[in-house]
């Protein structure tokens, strides 16, 4: 009887210990509640729980739910957030290197190439080097990469570079804004959560917002009838970062699981965003309500020439920015893009 009692007490202690070790990581993300991207991430959290036997899960908090979108990295560094999955370009004001790493406008041909650079070609390490300077010892980069080529949404037809002149366009800070400015447009930085009302009220005519399926889920098609697809410019590079102390307190197994899940979720998101986007484009073409514009190769070449000028200008602003551009170009050469 005594042995049974001891056994029961030990079993209870183990259960209590197991429940206490379960941890929910608070990550603020770049999308708002109800977006395709936010919904998608919520469905993938179960995989992390399975990988860690229920010991670890992520609570993806909508953009601006805890802190403004440009302040997430400070919130992570100070322990207000455990981590973030945010657009790197938002932090271009901290160092121009964030602009280079956030979106090398018109650089890569496909989002898969860009994601492979980030995860396997030196991008993640380059981003870590930037954080080690800006917020030394505070942040660990788990991964980065785009999940699609963004489809510009517009209330006016933009059939080529010349049509960008005078267009009021929502754009994140950094390279994207500089490229649009050089092309004659008037960019302004507006959080993703405010894009719909900005289009609706005429604050902007067009928006560098997100991939086609996410734009559709956000309802942009109701007011912006001239989307550009496939996109001409942007593959927003998103980061997954975590407070270094929080990460170090995890078990080795859960650290590996979190890194593995990060790579898996971005890879699967890239695939599914592309598939869902193509399916939605087909539906919209069949419905005939939207005029979907695909720029010819000649116009894309003109735009890329403008983008290269912006790359070099950004790289000249800081040693880290120069190194970030060289890192990207080295990988492009490796895969035959340059």
In the chain the domains, ranked by start, together with CATH numbers, are 23-148+235-276 (3.40.190.170), 153-234+289-317 (3.40.190.10)
The pLDDT value given to residue 136: 97
Task: Name the token pair of 67.
Answer: 């802190």
The pLDDT value given to residue 21: 55
Residue 207 has pLDDT above 90, yes or no: yes
pLDDT digits (tens, 9 = 90+) for 49-67: 999 999 999 999 999 999 9
User: pLDDT exceeding 70 applies to what percent of the chain?
Assistant: 94
Q: Name which of 146, 109, 114, 331 is nearest 240 in CA terms.
A: 146
Mean pLDDT of the chain: 90
pLDDT digits (tens, 9 = 90+) for 152-206: 999 999 999 999 999 999 987 778 889 999 999 999 988 888 999 999 999 999 9
What is the residue-wise DSSP string for 250-276? Answer: S-HHHHHHHHHHHHHHHHHHHHHHHHH
Which DSSP state fits 70? G
What lies within 8 Å, CB to CB, of 15 at 6+ separation is none
Whose structure tokens read 């860009």?
114
* Lowest mean per-residue pLDDT among 2-6, 209-213, 264-268: 2-6
pLDDT digits (tens, 9 = 90+) for 254-312: 999 999 999 999 899 989 988 998 999 999 999 999 999 999 989 988 998 999 999 99
The pLDDT value given to residue 202: 95
Cα dist from 305 to 155, 182, 189, 287, 335, whole Å: 25, 11, 23, 35, 20
The pLDDT value given to residue 191: 84
Which phi and psi (to 5°) does residue 141 adopt? Answer: -85, 120
What is the residue-wise DSSP string for 78-142? Answer: TTSSSEEE-BGGGGTTT-HHHHHHH--TT--SSHHHHHHHHHHSSHHHHHHHHHHHHSTTTEEEE
Task: Name the token pair of 147.
Answer: 């999940």
Confidence of residue 102 (pLDDT cuts 50, 70, 90): very high
pLDDT digits (tens, 9 = 90+) for 111-132: 999 999 999 999 999 999 999 9
Q: Name which of 93, 97, 90, 132 is nearest 320 in CA terms.
A: 97
């Amino acid at each position: 009887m005594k042995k049974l009692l001891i056994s029961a007490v030990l079993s209870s202690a183990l259960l209590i210990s197991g429940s206490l070790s379960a941890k929910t990581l608070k990550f603020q993300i770049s999308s708002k509640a109800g977006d395709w991207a936010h919904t998608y991430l919520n469905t993938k959290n179960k995989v992390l729980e399975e990988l860690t036997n229920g010991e670890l899960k992520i609570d993806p908090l909508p953009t601006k739910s805890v802190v403004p979108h440009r302040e997430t990295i400070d919130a992570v560094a100070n322990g207000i957030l455990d981590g973030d999955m945010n657009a790197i370009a938002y932090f271009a004001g901290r160092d121009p290197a964030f602009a280079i790493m956030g979106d090398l406008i018109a650089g890569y041909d496909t989002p898969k190439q860009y994601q492979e650079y980030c995860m396997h070609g030196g991008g993640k390490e380059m981003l870590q080097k930037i954080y080690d300077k800006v917020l030394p010892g505070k942040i660990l980069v788990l991964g980065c990469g785009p999940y699609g080529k963004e489809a510009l949404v517009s209330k006016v037809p933009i059939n080529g570079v010349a049509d960008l002149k005078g267009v009021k366009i929502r754009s994140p800070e950094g390279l994207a804004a500089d490229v649009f400015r050089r092309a004659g447009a008037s960019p302004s930085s507006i959080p993703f959560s405010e894009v719909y009302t900005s289009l609706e009220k005429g604050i902007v005519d067009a928006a560098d917002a997100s991939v086609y399926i996410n734009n559709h889920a956000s309802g942009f098609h109701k007011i912006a009838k001239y989307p550009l697809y496939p996109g001409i410019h942007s593959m927003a590079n998103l980061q997954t970062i975590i407070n270094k102390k929080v990460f170090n307190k995890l078990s080795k197994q859960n650290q590996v699981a979190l890194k593995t899940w990060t790579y898996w979720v971005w890879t699967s998101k890239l695939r599914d965003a592309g598939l869902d986007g193509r399916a939605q484009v087909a539906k919209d073409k069949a419905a005939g309500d939207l005029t979907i514009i695909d720029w010819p190769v000649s116009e894309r070449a003109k735009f890329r020439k403008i983008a290269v000028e912006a790359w070099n200008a950004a790289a000249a602003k800081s040693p880290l920015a120069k190194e970030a551009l060289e890192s990207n170009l080295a990988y492009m050469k490796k895969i035959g893009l340059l």
